């Protein structure tokens, strides 16, 4: 989230799309309700199904799964055509005035941007850049040509306008299935906050995996971010682009590098091309790129300080200037190690083993059948969980005959881990708040804390390296492991290490001093000379000499905006709303005096406020430093240059990989031109022609939590069985009544469950043809209370879903694939 859960109460307008917070985030959903109750805020819900969120909305719009960019592109077109934007914000805080290279071409004719090589499906992105001078010639120009009047036909603003002028209400209707009048009503309502030049009101966008789980998911989110930039809603209380994270600590997992191409704090991993530390830093440290009379802080220019401090945290004294800070110990990532690629690698015999901690790999999918087959080929599997799950019992999955079972040679180890209430540590919530929690009960029986299990595995591996040497023991034997109890490090100790400390007596820019060994007060102290260590720079400041800020429980809220500055600690530096300098106009005065966050104090010559300014504190408005300090341009990107996005600088509508209709914008370019898919025998695709004529989407229920709660009696009582939600009309076409068994098949597998026949999903008209959508909750499998009693079919929804992924984030397309529905 750019903002936070509680901050939603400050909004005037909500677009909830690609998310179903009432069902999946019921506790957080109190804040949208609060905005309705306290401010008469309006709520628009856009979803393929009428959900429990929709039940409380002011307007519900049913959309075809996977047509989100068409809808949002239509909104951008509407906002631009009707002047429902914040012009001052757009002209000063975004790259709208930047002039783009002459040979950059929009995809209006053939569906691809300039530089596409159809044979290799690769883009040469060199034309996706600004005009200007300076720089290396390969990256962004140092000095960007810009037109503050926004009239230059090659400026971002004009290109954007041209690009989305094709997203007319008629086109939106044909692609999304939303009748033109309904679309216009939604567009009018959402943009009404900028009616008649109003710049006070604010709108928020709230989404979750309904946006990410598409072959163009990152671009859906970008489209929303662009709409929010155009309307001037980013940086403001009650505004922003707000991702509702799915697990209690998924934000923390992402921060700490749960993703293969990141190191902690979103540092990019080295690749084999980075021959030394300097080469790596040169590649990943951006230089500023801006119009001559503007300023850009370009905060990522500090990357070397973050990287050296990380290596010091990892390797301690073994990381020295002389050995390039142990850069050579870091793995150089030479291929895609994301989720679907790992399973494909195992399916193809390259990946020999898997440690599955805190996740049920087989259930998670996509294409679970392929993943089960992959595990049959693995040498070993270690599963650490609190229940016997589908992954650890993949060899018992339905359909495997006893003879086949005997032939499965995979060695499976099951380790009893600890549940969330059985360990302390932090959760990082969607609002980026680090909150310490205390252990409630000890783990039962022989169950062990997960970090104890991991530590003991590590110590054993280290012992082997120490004894036997091996090819490259240094990264293992030199890893710093100075915990008081090496067998089971205390998480408080780990949290202090992640915050970081001074390794020598140091001074900051103001001359303040820190003694060697003291905890760092914040990342402004980080050095690239080895005198600081810090495990994750964005969390620096969370556990300082003042104590564990993450353990704070202060309930004072002086601003009344729900910032609660003394509750827990939010990264970065306890800022509650990111980019909050943009909550003020160019002169540094809040857009809305009743929701003041930060502002320029001319007398003190600095930014002050009720939130921590996300900005250079002494940069005067007249210097025109951009509020988006993490971009080298300093401004928000309506146009994403160069390698920022895989499929183009402006989001374009492409059809889901399996779609019942042609891409109306460019029939020859049906799908994302750079989509990633697999070619194994298990990767099969369905078409309408081959009988897969119904759109299917998957989702979660309030009553269950992923694949755990099927083991918990109360949850099972609330929703005892899997089901398939289908429209009344489809059910009557097929002669299916509520409670009848239905068989849903995709090109990859089948799923049988009872029918829930409902008016909450209606048939849609897509490009003149009637199309049905169905939905299925994902929670049930072949282990659980009901499953073990034989009360369900013991099947996995993710046997149906395709392993085809977004080329930016590598997220699979769980939403909007094709199936066939029959009475079972």
Partner 1 sequence: MSNGTLEIKAISGHTGTVPGRDTSRDYAVAKLIDVTTCIGCKACEVACLEWNGYPFRETTFDNTYQTMPDTAWNYYNLIRFDEHTAEDGTFSWLMRKDGCMHCADPGCLRACPSDGAIVQYANGIVDFQQENCIGCQYCVTGCPFNIPKFNAETKKVHKCTLCSDRVGVGLEPACIKACPTGCLHFGSKDDMKDLAEKRVAQLKEHTSHKNAGVYDPAGVGGTHVMYVLHDIEHPERYGGLPKDPQVPLLVRMWKGPVKWLGNLAMVAGIVGVAAHYVRFGPKEKHED
Min separation Cβ 52 and partner 1, Å: 5
Segment 4 to 23, residues that bind partner 1, using CB under 8 A: 22-23
Shortest approach of partner 1 to residue 758 CB, angstroms?
Answer: 7
Residue nearer to partner 1 on the CB measure, 272 or 713: 713
The Cα 43–Cα 56 span in angstroms is 8
Nearer CB in complex with partner 1: 56/336: 56
Give the separation between CA 371 and CA 394, rounded to whole angstroms: 9
For the CB of residue 27, give the shortest distance to partner 1 in the complex, in Å: 5
Q: Nearest distance from residue 22's CB to partner 1, in Å?
A: 4
Please name the residue that has the structure tokens 């239905």. Answer: 742
User: Is the Cβ of residue 270 or residue 781 nearer to partner 1 in the bound state?
Assistant: 781
Cβ closest to partner 1, residue 221 vs residue 726: 726
Of the pair 106, 728, the CB lying nearest partner 1 is at 728
Strand order in the sheet with 425-428: 425-428, 433-437, 569-570
Closer of 96 and 761 to partner 1 (Cβ): 761
Binding mask 30-69 for partner 1 (x = CB under 8 A): x--xx-xx--x---------x-xxxxx-x-x---------
Shortest Cβ distance from residue 723 to partner 1 (Å)? 6
Using CB under 8 A, pick the residue from 109, 170, 505, 721 that binds partner 1.
Answer: 721
Work out whether strand 723-727 and strand 804-805 pair parallel, antiparallel, or are unpaired. Answer: unpaired
- Give the position of tokens 């429902």: 84
In whole angstroms, the minimum distance from the beta carbon of 33 to partner 1 comes to 5
Residues 824 and 807: their CA atoms lie apart, in Å, by 37
Q: Is the peptide bond before 572 cis (omega within 30 degrees of 0)?
A: yes
Q: Does 29 interact with partner 1 (rule: CB under 8 A)?
A: yes
Distance (Å, rounded) from C-alpha 524 to C-alpha 573?
A: 10
The answer to the question of residue 243 lying near partner 1 (CB under 8 A) is no
Q: How many CB atoms lie within 10 A of CB 641?
A: 27
Closer of 476 and 734 to partner 1 (Cβ): 734
Nearer to partner 1, 681 or 714 (CB): 714
One character per residue 654-693, x = contact with partner 1 (rule: CB under 8 A): ----------------------------------------
Q: Report the nearest approach of partner 1 to the CB of residue 576 (Å).
A: 21
**Parallel, antiparallel or unpaired: strands 723-727 and 267-268:** unpaired
Site map 737..766 versus partner 1, x via CB under 8 A: -xx--------------xxxxxxx------
Greatest distance between any 2 Cα atoms in the chain: 82
- Which range touches partner 1 (CB under 8 A), out of 72-80, 428-436, 718-726, 795-803? 718-726
Near partner 1 by CB under 8 A: residue from 119, 441, 603, 714: 714
Which is nearest to 252 in space by CA: 468, 542, 678?
542
Cβ–Cβ under 8 Å, residues 204 and 242: yes
Residue closer to partner 1 (CB basis): 40 or 120: 40
Q: Which residue has the tokens 């369900």?
A: 792
12 is written with which tokens? 């005037």
- For the bound state, the minimum distance from the C-beta of residue 56 to partner 1, rounded and expressed in Å, comes to 6
Stretch of residues binding partner 1 (CB under 8 A), selected from 161-169, 271-279, 353-361, 717-725: 717-725
CB of 62 to partner 1, least distance (A): 9
Query: How many C-beta atoms surround the C-beta of residue 492 within 10 A?
Result: 16
Strands 694-699 and 773-777, by their bridges, are: parallel
Nearer to partner 1, 32 or 656 (CB): 32
| Alpha-carbon Rg for the chain in angstroms | 27
Convert 669-705 into a string of H (helix), E (strand) and C (coil).
CCCCCCCEECCCCCCCCCCCCCCCCEEEEEECCCCCC
The smaller minimum CB distance to partner 1, of residues 60 and 433, is found at 60
Q: Distance (Å, rounded) from C-alpha 49 to C-alpha 255?
A: 32
501 bridge partner residues: 519, 533
Nearer to partner 1, 301 or 786 (CB): 786
Using CB under 8 A, which residues numbered 347 to 406 contact partner 1? none
By C-alpha distance, which of 716, 758, 719 is closest to 736?
Answer: 758
C-alpha 477/C-alpha 496 separation (Å) is 22
In the complex, least distance from residue 441 CB atom to partner 1, rounded to whole angstroms = 16
Contacting residue, 267, 284, 378, 716, with partner 1 by CB under 8 A? 716
735 binds partner 1 per the rule CB under 8 A: no
CB 727, min distance to partner 1, A? 12
- Which of residues 494 and 728 has its CB atom nearest to partner 1 in the complex? 728
Q: How far is the CB of 40 from partner 1 (least distance, A)?
A: 4
In 3D, which of 76, 50, 47 has the Cα closest to residue 64?
A: 47
Pick one of 720, 729, 750, 765: the residue that binds partner 1 (CB under 8 A): 720
Alpha carbon 591 to its chain centroid, in Å, reads 29
Rounded to a whole number of angstroms, the minimum distance from the CB of residue 563 to partner 1 is 20
First CA to last CA distance, the chain: 43
SS3 274: coil
CB of 64 to partner 1, least distance (A): 17
Q: Show the tokens assigned to 777.
A: 């909750």
Helix (H) or strand (E) holding 183: helix 180-191
Phi/psi at 350 (5° precision): -85, -35
How many residues bind partner 1 (CB under 8 A)? The answer is 39
Q: Min. distance of Cβ 234 from partner 1 in angstroms?
A: 27
The reply on whether position 724 binds partner 1 by CB under 8 A is no
Q: Among all chains, which residue has been given the structure tokens 């230059």?
A: 152
Nearer to partner 1, 52 or 154 (CB): 52
- Looking at 501-591, list the stretches that DSSP marks H as alpha helix, in order from N- to C-terminal side: none
- Residue 261: partners with Cβ closer than 8 Å, 6 or more residues away: 268, 269, 333, 337, 338
| Nearest residue to 747 via CA among 820, 807, 697, 796 | 820
- Separation CA 595–CA 583 (nearest Å): 9
Is 723 one of the binding residues for partner 1 (CB under 8 A)?
yes
Contact 526, 540 (CB under 8 A): yes
The answer to whether the CB of 821 falls within 8 A of the CB of 349 is no
Q: How far is the CB of 443 from partner 1 (least distance, A)?
A: 22
| Residue window 396-435: x/- pattern of binding to partner 1, with contact defined by CB under 8 A | ----------------------------------------
Phi, psi of 812 (to 5 degrees): -75, 160
- Measured from the CB atom, the residue of 40 and 484 that comes closer to partner 1 is 40
Please check whether residue 414 is in contact with residue 354, taking contact to mean a CB–CB distance below 8 angstroms: no
In the complex, least distance from residue 198 CB atom to partner 1, rounded to whole angstroms: 18
Which of 282/758 has CB closer to partner 1?
A: 758
Q: Give 491-523 as a DSSP string.
A: HHHHHHHHH-EESS-EE-TT--EE-TTPBPS-G
- Mapping DSSP to helix (H, G, I), strand (E, B) and coil, where does residue 149 land? coil
Minimal distance, residue 330 CB to partner 1, in Å: 43
Window 304 to 323, contacts with partner 1 (CB under 8 A): none
Residue choice 133, 348, 466, 717 for contact with partner 1 (CB under 8 A): 717
Judged by CB under 8 A, which stretch of 29-37, 267-275, 462-470, 559-567 contacts partner 1?
A: 29-37
Binding site for partner 1 (CB under 8 A): 22-23, 26-27, 29-30, 33-34, 36-37, 40, 50, 52-56, 58, 60, 702-703, 713-714, 716-721, 723, 738-739, 754-760
């Amino acid at each position: 989230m750019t903002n936070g859960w509680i901050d939603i109460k400050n909004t005037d307008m909500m677009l909830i799309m690609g998310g179903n917070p009432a069902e999946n985030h019921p506790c957080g959903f109190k804040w949208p309700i609060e905005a309705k109750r306290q401010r008469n805020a309006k709520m628009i819900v856009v979803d393929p199904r009428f959900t429990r969120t929709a039940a409380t909305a002011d307007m519900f719009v049913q959309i075809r799964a996977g047509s989100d960019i068409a809808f949002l592109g239509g909104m951008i077109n509407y906002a631009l055509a009707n002047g429902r934007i914040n012009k001052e914000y757009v002209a000063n805080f975004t790259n709208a005035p930047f002039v783009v290279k002459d040979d950059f071409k929009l995809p209006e004719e053939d569906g691809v941007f300039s530089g596409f090589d159809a044979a290799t499906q690769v883009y040469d992105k060199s034309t996706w850049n600004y005009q200007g001078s300076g720089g290396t010639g390969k990256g962004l120009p140092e000095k960007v040509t810009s037109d503050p009047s926004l009239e230059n036909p090659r400026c971002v603003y004009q290109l954007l306008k041209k690009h989305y002028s094709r997203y007319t209400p008629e086109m939106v209707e044909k692609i999304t299935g939303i009748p033109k009048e309904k679309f216009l009503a939604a567009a009018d309502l959402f943009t009404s906050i900028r009616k008649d030049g109003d710049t006070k009101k604010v709108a928020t966008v709230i989404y979750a995996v309904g946006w990410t789980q598409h072959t163009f998911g990152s671009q859906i989110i970008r489209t929303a971010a662009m709409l929010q930039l155009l309307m001037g809603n980013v940086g403001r209380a009650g505004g922003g682009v707000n991702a509702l994270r799915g697990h209690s600590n998924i934000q923390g997992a992402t921060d700490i590098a749960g993703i293969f191409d990141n190191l902690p704090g979103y540092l990019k991993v080295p690749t084999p091309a980075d021959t030394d530390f300097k080469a790596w830093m040169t590649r990943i440290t951006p230089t500023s790129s801006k119009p001559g009379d503007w300023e850009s802080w370009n905060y990522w220019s500090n990357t070397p300080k973050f990287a050296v401090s990380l290596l010091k945290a990892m390797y301690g004294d073994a990381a020295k200037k002389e050995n390039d800070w142990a850069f050579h110990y870091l793995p150089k990532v030479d291929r895609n190690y994301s989720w679907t690629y790992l399973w494909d690698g195992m399916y193809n015999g390259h990946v020999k083993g898997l440690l599955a901690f805190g996740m049920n790999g087989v259930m998670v999918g996509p294409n679970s059948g392929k993943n089960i087959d992959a595990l049959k080929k693995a040498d070993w599997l270690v599963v650490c969980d609190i229940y016997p799950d589908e992954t650890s019992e993949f060899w018992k999955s339905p359909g495997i005959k006893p003879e086949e079972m005997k032939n499965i040679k995979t060695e499976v180890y099951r380790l009893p881990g600890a549940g969330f209430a059985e360990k302390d540590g932090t959760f990082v919530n969607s609002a980026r708040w680090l909150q310490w929690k205390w252990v409630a009960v000890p783990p039962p029986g022989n169950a062990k804390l997960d970090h104890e299990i991991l530590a003991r595995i590590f110590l054993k591996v280290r012992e082997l390296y120490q004894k036997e040497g091996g090819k490259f023991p240094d990264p293992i034997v030199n890893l710093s492991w100075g915990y008081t109890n090496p067998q089971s490090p205390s998480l408080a100790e780990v949290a202090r290490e992640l915050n970081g400390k001074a390794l020598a007596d140091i001074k900051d820019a103001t001359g303040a001093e820190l003694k060697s060994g003291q905890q760092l007060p914040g990342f402004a102290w980080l050095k690239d000379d080895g005198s600081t260590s810090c495990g994750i720079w964005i969390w620096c400041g969370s556990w300082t000499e003042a104590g564990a800020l993450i353990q704070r429980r202060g309930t004072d809220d002086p601003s009344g905006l729900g910032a609660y500055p003394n509750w827990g600690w939010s990264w970065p530096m306890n800022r509650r709303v990111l980019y909050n300098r943009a909550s003020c106009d160019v002169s540094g005065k809040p857009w809305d005096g009743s929701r003041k966050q930060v502002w320029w104090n001319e007398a003190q010559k600095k930014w002050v406020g009720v939130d921590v300014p996300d900005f250079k504190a002494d940069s005067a408005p007249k210097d025109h430093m951009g509020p988006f300090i993490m971009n080298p341009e300093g401004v928000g990107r309506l146009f994403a240059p160069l390698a920022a996005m895989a499929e183009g600088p402006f989001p374009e509508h492409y059809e889901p990989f399996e779609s019942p209709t042609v891409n109306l914008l460019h029939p020859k370019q049906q799908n994302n031109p750079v989509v990633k898919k697999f070619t194994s025998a298990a990767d099969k695709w369905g078409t309408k022609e081959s009988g897969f004529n119904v759109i299917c989407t998957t989702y979660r229920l309030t009553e269950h939590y992923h694949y755990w709660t099927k083991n918990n009696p109360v949850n099972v009582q609330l929703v005892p069985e899997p089901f398939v939600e289908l429209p009344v009309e489809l059910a009557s076409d097929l002669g299916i009544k509520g409670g009848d068994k239905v068989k849903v098949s995709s090109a990859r597998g089948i799923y049988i469950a009872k029918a829930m026949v409902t008016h909450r999903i209606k048939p849609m008209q897509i490009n003149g043809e009637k199309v049905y959508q169905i939905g299925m909750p994902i929670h049930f499998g072949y282990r659980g209370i009901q499953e073990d009693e034989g009360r369900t079919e013991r099947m996995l929804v993710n046997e149906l879903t395709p392993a085809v992924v977004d080329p930016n984030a590598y997220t699979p397309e769980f939403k909007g694939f094709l199936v066939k529905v029959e009475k079972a």
